[in-house]
Amino acid sequence: MTTNSTSAHHFARIWAVRLGVITLVFTGILVLMGVSKYGALDFARMGTRFSLGDPTGSGGYDGQFAYYIARDGANAVPFIDGATLRYQRILYPMIARVLAFGNPDLVPYTLILVNVIAHTVTAMLTAYLIARLAPRHKFAPRSSLAPLAALVITGWLGALFAVRLDLNESLCFALALGAGAAYLDERPRLTAMLLILSVLAKETGLVFALGIALHALMNTQQPTDAQGETSFSRVPTKTWLNVISSSNRFAYFFGMPLLAFLVWWGVLYITFGTLPTRYPAARNIQPIPFNGLFAEESAAEFVFLTLWLALPTLLIFLAAAHTVIRTRTISLGAGLAIAGAGFVMLMPDVSWVDPVAAYRVGMPIVVCGLIYLAEHHPRWLRWATALWLPSLALALITPGMW
């Protein structure tokens, strides 16, 4: 490892630790406030329709299904609205169940613990990737504040909703970004393994797998930046990437997570006799960008969804596409941005009409957008931060949360 490479790693690690401390303290305070006021079980938002089997009861929210699986394991089926859909996202509740040693009384706390740690790791790795990918010669001195843009992840309302409501996104994104860091550190096996785990936490992990695979598919040599240093923003390795064919590289980083996902689907089909494709989130996907946005009935929510999700998604997609056309290659940031933007554009209607769902399901554009901007348009990070960080205010004032 060269001196410049070692320095880049050190710089990135310092910022990762800084963002980790800030995120852990901030999220920990919010969680303690929520637990002391409402109790740990309230994070699961259970509805009597499922907890008591009352057809006319309250519906609750999605986190209750992670709680039931973590509490009851394979015996949670009677409490779940769609077994194949909920067991598809198996990793988060199973980790919480293991940490609780199967004790139902501890499960509400271990679910929260896993998500607080995962959210912290997500912010840390976002800062790490920003520090690694940003063209360092454009920042003088080396103590650039660019990685502070990762504070957007700390305060993004969708990420905080995921923590507060015992949802799967936090773990999914932490593992996916861990795969991105492993990819930059020239560890392909670890990259693929983390992507597989991310997909088993939630299928959104396939978005990050696709972004990494697009980069690996289109790059075969080690370029240098304007100062002659190795550019972390394009190809992270001099060895294995050059000797594997393009199709095999794509299959390695996207095909393996997809295969693991489909194998798990097979297990679910054998067990329950159905697939998750029967549920609205899978059936309502339309090949019309932002189709679900226009199903939103509230004018205020439509404005916020447009401002924080739809408009940034469109702009980042166009910018990343222009970067690909101009450079005739797909950088890591551009690959992630294209995959993330494409995913948000085609989000199903059921995700858009529920703003809580939209902001957490649409989070890939925030994460991937920051990484792309750091790599290609670092000066734009301040504008992205100014746009997205105020969403924290909405998260804090939402009734019944903290």
Find which of 230-244, 311-325, 344-358 is predicted with most confidence, using mean pLDDT: 311-325
pLDDT at 274: 87
Task: Write the CB contacts of 156 (distance below 8 Å, at least 6 apart in sequence).
Answer: 359, 363, 366, 388, 391, 392, 395
Between 380 and 134, the more confident residue is 380
Q: Smallest Cα–Cα separation from 377: which of 233, 274, 168?
A: 233
**Is 60 exceeded by the pLDDT of residue 214?**
yes
CA torsion sign, 42 to 49 to 100 to 264? Answer: negative
Average pLDDT over residues 257-266: 96
Rounded-to-integer distance, Cα 119 and Cα 20, Å: 9
Query: Quick one: pLDDT at residue 128?
Result: 96
Give yes or no for a contact between 340 and 207, defined as CB atoms under 8 angstroms apart: yes
What pLDDT sits at residue 3?
Answer: 55
| Least reliable range by pLDDT among 41-45, 257-261, 305-309, 344-348 | 344-348
DSSP, residue by residue, 23-88: HHHHHHHHHHHHHHHH-GGGGG---HHHHS--TTS----THHHHHHHHHHGGGGGGG-S-HHHHHH
For residue 37, count CB atoms less than 10 angstroms from its CB and return exposed for 0-12, middle for 13-18, buried for 19 or more.
exposed
Residues 83-100 have pLDDT tens digits of 899 999 999 999 999 999
CA-CA distance, 246 to 238, in Å (whole number)?
15
Q: Reply yes or no on whether the pLDDT at 284 is more than 90.
A: no
d(CA 216, CA 250): 6
Q: Which residue has the higher pLDDT, 200 or 186?
A: 200
The Cα–Cα gap between 400 and 175 comes to 29
Residue 235, pLDDT above cutoff 70: no
Is 238 a residue whose pLDDT tops 60? Answer: no
For residue 244, is pLDDT > 60? no
Residue 60, pLDDT above cutoff 50: yes
Q: Report the C-alpha gap between 389 and 72 in whole angstroms.
A: 38
CA 14 from chain centre, in angstroms, equals 22
Q: Where are the domains of the chain?
A: 3-397
Helix axis angle for 363-376 and 157-164, nearest 10°, is 140
- As a whole number, the mean pLDDT across the chain is 88
pLDDT of residue 256: 95
Query: What tokens does 107 get?
Result: 């499960």
Q: CA separation (Å) from 310 to 21, 289, 291?
A: 31, 9, 11
pLDDT band at residue 43 under the 50/70/90 scheme: very high
| pLDDT tens profile 97-129 | 999 998 999 999 999 999 999 999 999 999 999
Structure confidence at residue 63 (pLDDT): 94
Question: Can you give the pLDDT at residue 248?
Answer: 79
Residue 230's DSSP bridge partners are 224
* Mean pLDDT confidence for 11-31: 94
The stretch 290-309 carries a mean pLDDT of 89
Closest CA to 383 of 312, 281, 292: 312
Mean of pLDDT values over 28-45: 96
Per-residue pLDDT for 73 more than 80? yes
CB within 8 Å of 300: residues ≥ 6 apart: none
**Read out DSSP for 258-309?**
HHHHHHHHHHHHHHHS--GGGSHHHHT--SSTTGGGGG---HHHHHHHIIII
| One-letter identity of residue 251 | A
Does 142 have pLDDT greater than 60? Answer: no
Of the chain, the end-to-end C-alpha distance in Å amounts to 46
* DSSP type of residue 255: I
Looking at residue 280, its pLDDT comes to 67
pLDDT on residue 390: 96
Share of the chain above pLDDT 70, in %: 88
282 vs 200 pLDDT, higher one: 200
Q: Which two tokens stand for residue 8?
A: 């880049």
Q: Which band of pLDDT confidence, cut at 50, 70 and 90, is reported for residue 222?
A: very low
Query: Average of pLDDT values for 336-355?
Result: 92
Residue 145 reports pLDDT greater than 80 = no
pLDDT band per the 50, 70, 90 thresholds, residue 358 = very high
Question: pTM above the 0.75 mark?
Answer: yes
Please spell the DSSP secondary structure of 100-135, one letter per residue.
Answer: TTT-TTTHHHHHHHHHHHHHHHHHHHHHHHHHHHS-
